[in-house]
Amino acid sequence: MLRNASEPWHLIVLLGVCVLVFGSKQLPEVARGVGKSMRILKAETRALHPDPPHPAASRPDSREP
């Protein structure tokens, strides 16, 4: 169903619709806002899932007596 969804003319039409809806002067502000939102979302999802312990830290070192 979505095999041909990323053809170049689809992106051109999408960009044209965005320019018509938001105007060419507000597009950088909209893009900045989306970028900030994505960074916040990524930081929050990282905070929900703590990092697993490093595998080398839990493995005993064979060099120690």
pLDDT at 36: 96
pLDDT at 50: 72
> What is the pTM for the complete model shown?
0.51
As given in the structure block, the two tokens for residue 45 are 């999802």
* Residue pair 5/14 in contact by the 8 Å Cβ criterion: no
- The DSSP letter of residue 23 is -
Q: Measure CA of the first residue to CA of the last residue in the chain; give whole Å.
A: 61
Confidence of residue 38 (pLDDT cuts 50, 70, 90): very high
